[in-house]
Chains A and B, each alone.
Chain A
Amino acid sequence: MKDGLGSVQSIAVFGGTSDIGLAIVERLARAGRLQRLVLVGRDAQALAVEQKRFSVVPEVEVVGGFDAARPDTHDDTVDAVFAGGDVDVAIFAFGLLGDQATAEADPEHALEIGAVNYAGVVSVGVRLADRIKQQGHGTIVVLSSVAAERARRSNFVYGSAKAGADAFALGLAEQVRPYGGHVLVVRPGFVRTRMTQGVKEAPFATEAAVVAEEVERGLRHGAAVVWAPGFLRYVMAVLRHLPRAVFCRLPQ
């Protein structure tokens, strides 16, 4: 259970090898109350490598065989995650940055970006909302992106999928609220991680630890949306309202 000051006892990370997801776990574990961690992902072996980082947590489980783009894997995954008890926080950390140029030429690749970043969130999200309803409490952390607020020329396939997931998560928050549930939407800027290695950095690039910091505070305060770094909230408030003609002329 989450305690009176927001410390949690059980976490499940969907996309259990994600640098940001794991940074959030590390940050939340600092409160010293984490009892159970479930790392969920495609490759059980890759998850087992990450598992070693959390030797201080009494129970760490690995659930392999989860593919965000394949909804037929989602029922078994969610069952396995909840078999060990309640989940206080579920982190949706899976994502596919993809390659914009490839996506522009290859509809399959463009659809795959949509399948992971949008359809995957919807499919797991609906299932988790039902679990929250059953257990009467629980938080979902959805890793969105500032690209969800305003996609650029250079990343609009990814951005459009994130925009869908972001809108879905905001609605899901309303759905689960009467059941004691909470959804936190996280909108990071460019984060230096394994996923973005070799990708040209956008302005205000940041680190996974900074995202984790914002998530931790957001959870404690019951926030609906957090940005990382925090000041992007104000940057995006401006960018969101820039006329299209002006926005298009900004360096993309």
Chain B
Amino acid sequence: MAAETRRLLSGWGRTAPTAAKVVEPIDDHEVEWRVGGGADRRGVIARGLGRSYNDAAQNAGGLVLDLTRLRTIEHFDADTGVVDASSSISVEDLLQLFLPRGWFPPVTPGTRFVTLGGSVAADVHGKNHHHDGSFMDHVRSLRMTTPADGTTKVEAGDDLFWATAGGMGLTGVVNQVKLQLRRVETAWMRVDTERATDLDDVLGRMEEGDAKYEYSVAWIDCLARGPRLGRAVLTRGQHATAAELPPLERNEPFTLPPTIELAAPPWVPAGLLNKATVRTFNELWFRRAPKHERERIVAYPSFFYPLDGVEGWNRLYGKRGFVQYQAVVPLAATGTLRSMIERLGREGTASFLSVLKRFGPGNRGMLSFPTEGWTLALDIPVSGHDLRPMLDQLDRMVVDAGGRVYVAKDSRVDPGLLRAMYPRLDEWKAVQATADPDGVMQSDLGRRLGLVRR
């Protein structure tokens, strides 16, 4: 039995820290014991690498299971690319282990420092959602520990499987994930970049051209106004084939040149990212981007993980941290999208990184976020300025348009809106109650959003 230590935990956004007893279970038996009755009434939640922006992997006054000690690859089938791994194996681990053998994670978010367990809990998506769906679409089965049934295998298609997809860890602890990897010939990407002059331009380009690319994402300048509203840099690409590489790289298609690792300073002034600095950054970023560039060959990390190159980049937002806001609205709701960007531009604050993407159809996950439509993701520093009225307004625009916010990133949505955003919420609650009849699974997010019984 591992020892419990009290720690203050917060998410990647560094807001609202709370204290929990953190324990690193020594094996699956201990996980089973902790979930099956070894927790007090404050309950238990699993935590991976702490990259969730919000309070999803916090459990004030309760137990937090840090599973990072249990890190094994149970099985890998080199012919089919199916890997069976502990939930605390990260996307980075998968890249290190399997990319040299020609296998790539089927879906990856904007950081590779996320665990498979976390990827299940948020049913994460990446730049290839329009093409390949979200993470759970590539999961064959799970091994989970639930308070009701102990450790069991959960097959794709089971109710519990689709309640666990996006279920924020509240249906039980995921021990193991059986995942289908994607075949690649190289560690390089073939990328096309283009500038879009306004919102209609970028939406049009995505609508027309996304089908030709496996990966597509637009960086959008939320401070541009008037005729330039919604101007964007659209980046789309594919995994490069060996034949597409220059002769030198072709011989060793999985070897990348060494990169320089940067780290954010331990302390930065609170107002570093303000409207003026972000406006300047946006201007430079937009002008730096080529008007149109075709088939540039780049190493996969700079395409997928530009921020992972700066360790601790979340500290750049200062000690008050930042909030993420990501929402999706249906494809037809381009008017809502425009109103949202206009509303953001009017606010006295700035989103440093704003990303626009076109989602393909969603999956059967009861609380999975992606649904067909436009998704806009923002990072907003928490400053003296009160962001709440604006974000509440954005919520209402999103709900009125039939959209939803991303629970894995949200840290302030009105719980009363959740049912409108996620129509299958009651179905999820029923499955959750079967897996956890006594309310053992608890988290700050669960309490805040009323997903758990108190």
Contacts and interface: CB of A to CB of B under 8 A. Distances in A.
Interface string B1-29: 00000101000010111111000000000
B447 A1 contact: yes
Interface in B278-332: 320-321, 323
A178 B411 CA distance: 22
Given A179-B19, A180-B18, A4 B323 contact: yes
B388 A9 contact: no
A222 B6 CA distance: 21
Contacts of A86: 60, 447, 454
B387 A5 contact: yes
A240 interface: no
A77 interface: no
B84 interface: no
A4 B55 contact: yes
A5 B447 contact: no
B411 A3 contact: yes
Contacts of B388: 5, 7, 31
B382 interface: yes
A4 B411 contact: yes
A136 B15 contact: no
Given A1-B447, A179-B6, A180-B17, A32 B414 contact: yes
B168 to A, nearest CB: 14
A153 interface: no
A5 B411 contact: yes
B60 A135 contact: yes
Contact of A137 (B54, B60, B323): B60
A3 B320 CA distance: 13
Interface size class of B (residues with CB under 8 A): 20 to 34
Contacts of B345: none
A137 B19 CA distance: 7
Contacts of B60: 1, 86, 135-137, 180
B323 A5 contact: yes
A33 B412 CA distance: 9
Contacts of A6: 16
A107 interface: no
Most buried by A among B61, B384, B392: B61
A181 B8 CA distance: 10
Interface string B390-421: 01100000000000000000011011000000
A2 interface: yes
B14 to A, nearest CB: 9
Nearest to B41: A134
Given A32-B392, A135-B60, A179-B6, A4 B19 contact: no
Given A85-B454, A178-B8, A1 B55 contact: yes
Interface string A4-26: 11110100000000000000000
Contacts of A33: 414-415
A5 B321 CA distance: 10
B270 to A, nearest CB: 10
A33 B388 CA distance: 11
Contacts of B61: 133-137, 180
Interface size class of A (residues with CB under 8 A): 20 to 34
Nearest to B447: A1
Contacts of B183: none
A221 interface: yes
A128 to B, nearest CB: 14
A192 B196 CA distance: 58
A221 B384 contact: yes
Interface in B336-387: 382, 384, 386-387
B444 interface: yes
Contact of A3 (B16, B17, B384, B386): B16
A127 interface: no
A136 B59 contact: yes
B257 to A, nearest CB: 39
B448 interface: yes
A178 B20 CA distance: 10
B444 A4 contact: no
B62 interface: yes
Contacts of A221: 320, 384
Nearest to B384: A221
Contacts of A70: none
B275 interface: no
B447 A180 contact: no
Nearest to A85: B454
A241 B322 CA distance: 38
A3 B448 CA distance: 7
A136 B19 contact: yes
A86 B415 CA distance: 17
Given A3-B412, A136-B19, A180 B8 contact: yes
A136 B62 contact: yes
Contacts of A5: 15, 323, 382, 386-388, 391, 411-412
Nearest to B321: A4
A217 to B, nearest CB: 8
A222 B17 CA distance: 11
A85 B415 CA distance: 17
Interface string A179-204: 11100000000000000000000000
29 contacts: A1-B55, A1-B60, A1-B447, A1-B448, A3-B412, A3-B448, A4-B15, A4-B323, A5-B15, A5-B323, A5-B411, A6-B16, A31-B388, A33-B414, A86-B60, A86-B454, A134-B42, A135-B61, A136-B18, A136-B59, A136-B62, A137-B18, A137-B60, A137-B444, A178-B6, A178-B19, A179-B6, A180-B19, A222-B320
Question: Nearest 6 CB-CB pairs, A to B?
Answer: A4-B411, A136-B61, A136-B60, A180-B19, A4-B15, A1-B448
